[in-house]
């Protein structure tokens, strides 16, 4: 009988048990590696032992622990967990039995039966590929079925930024100091909406703000004069002690019971009694931008479109793409290029300016 060292499995199991109690799992894992270095650890073999969890579920939890240790955000971990679990349930086999043909069948079913987009199936398969790559690297499976799966070729559609006229219409349609601050911050900083809602008042220092980006990577973003003034006016109207720039509010039903009608709902945040612990969630900011866009007669002005607009306007005004990429918090410049909305006129002007 072959005896294998189960040190990694034990350490992962300990991390799994302590996940909710330990802030830095990476540091804990390093300590456990050092402590266990002088020991040989093997799993106990018993015929009557019954697994408490399904094998797929157990391995998925271990994978998510590894991703957490690597520094992935809670949102990313949740997305990995939901998509991979759903995929494994659809295929209906353990990871040891899944073949490339099973994955191809799953992709076909998702596209034909469920009518999902190529972007969706591409994301699901990329997450599954990351899971199987981890299983293979950990020598849990002998072959990686994803090695024979081609990447889903996604159609590249041109995504437009807001025009200068649309921007002015949105500014005019914004209701009250809070909405104006949201609009100006999105336009000036190019923040992701998840970054925006996590900004604390203490993170703002004059014309710059510290944001917490993907992969726990902090960076500074900068406020132009409009944004800085909008935030200053908004904060002066605040009466609560919530530390977040955009605090969470009570439900509309609770506010209405306190006598706040639809007409006054725009200014709910001015009353400290309406503010609760925590920050606004991303969906509430998205809802606000959609409402403002509808009022202004602007099509699809979601927070991501503001981000694209910020990047496009910066590049048009001469900011080097490397700096635009850093401003957006991108690791690769190729990611930044996806955001840009540059016309043939922009290219022609750039050609006259830079090409001999």
Task: Please report whether residue 156 resides in a domain.
Answer: no
pLDDT at 53 over 60: no
24 and 128 assigned to the same domain = yes
Task: Please report whether residue 158 resides in a domain.
Answer: no
What is the number of domains present in the chain?
2
Confidence band, pLDDT 50/70/90 cuts, at residue 324: confident
344 and 222 assigned to the same domain = yes
Instruction: Report the pLDDT value the prediction gives residue 157, as an integer from 0 to 100.
Output: 59
107 and 180 assigned to the same domain = no
168 and 114 assigned to the same domain = no
Q: Kindly give, in sequence order, each residue whose CB lies less than 8 Å from that of residue 123, ignoring residues fewer than 6 positions away.
A: 83
When pLDDT is averaged across residues 2-31 and rounded to a whole number, the result is 69
95 and 181 assigned to the same domain = no
114 and 250 assigned to the same domain = no
- Please say whether the dihedral angle defined by the alpha carbons of residues 58, 63, 66 and 71, taken in this order, is positive or negative: negative
Task: Please report whether residue 159 resides in a domain.
Answer: no
Model pTM above 0.75: no
When pLDDT is averaged across residues 39-44 and rounded to a whole number, the result is 69
For position 180, which CATH number holds? Answer: 1.10.443.10
Task: Please report whether residue 2 resides in a domain.
Answer: no
Instruction: State the residue range of the domain holding 44.
Output: 7-148
When pLDDT is averaged across residues 160-179 and rounded to a whole number, the result is 92
Burial class (CB in 10 A: 0-12, 13-18, 19+), 160: middle
Of the spans 43-47, 298-302, 318-322, which averages the highest pLDDT? 298-302
Task: Please report whether residue 282 resides in a domain.
Answer: yes
92 and 221 assigned to the same domain = no
When pLDDT is averaged across residues 258-278 and rounded to a whole number, the result is 78
pLDDT greater at residue 347 or residue 310 = 310
Question: Residue 247 region, left (φ>0) first, then alpha (ψ -120 to 50), else beta?
Answer: beta
């Amino acid at each position: 009988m072959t005896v294998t060292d189960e040190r990694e499995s034990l350490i992962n199991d300990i991390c799994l048990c302590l996940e909710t109690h330990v802030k830095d799992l990476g540091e804990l894992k390093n300590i456990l590696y050092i402590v266990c270095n002088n020991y040989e650890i093997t799993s106990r073999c018993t015929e009557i032992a019954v697994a408490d969890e399904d094998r797929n579920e157990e391995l998925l939890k271990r994978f998510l622990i590894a991703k957490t240790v690597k520094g992935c955000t809670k949102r990313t971990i949740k997305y990995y967990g939901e998509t991979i679990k759903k995929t494994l349930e659809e295929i209906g086999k353990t990871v040891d039995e899944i073949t490339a043909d099973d994955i191809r069948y799953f992709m076909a079913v998702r596209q034909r039966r469920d009518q999902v987009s190529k972007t969706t199936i591409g994301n699901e398969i990329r997450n599954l590929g990351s899971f199987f790559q981890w299983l293979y690297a950990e020598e849990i499976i002998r072959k990686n079925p994803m090695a024979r799966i081609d990447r889903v070729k996604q159609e590249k559609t041109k995504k437009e930024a807001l025009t200068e006229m649309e921007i002015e219409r949105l500014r005019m349609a914004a209701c009250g100091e809070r909405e104006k601050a949201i609009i100006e911050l999105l336009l000036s900083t190019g923040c992701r909406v998840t970054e925006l809602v996590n900004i604390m008042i203490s993170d703002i220092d004059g014309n710059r703000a510290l944001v917490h980006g993907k992969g726990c990577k902090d960076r500074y973003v900068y406020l132009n004069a409009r944004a800085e003034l909008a935030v200053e006016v908004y904060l002066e109207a605040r009466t609560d002690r919530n530390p977040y720039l955009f605090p969470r509010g009570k439900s509309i039903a609770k506010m209405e019971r306190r006598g706040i009608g639809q007409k006054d709902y725009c200014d709910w945040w001015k009353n400290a009694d309406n503010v609760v612990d925590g920050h606004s969630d991303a969906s509430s900011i998205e809802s606000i931008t959609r409402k403002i866009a509808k009022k202004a007669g602007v099509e699809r002005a979601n927070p991501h479109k503001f981000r694209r607009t910020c990047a496009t306007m910066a590049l048009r005004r001469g900011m080097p793409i490397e700096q635009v990429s850093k401003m957006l918090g991108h690791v690769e410049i190729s990611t930044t290029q996806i955001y840009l909305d540059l016309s043939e006129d922009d290219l022609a002007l750039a050609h006259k300016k830079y090409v001999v």
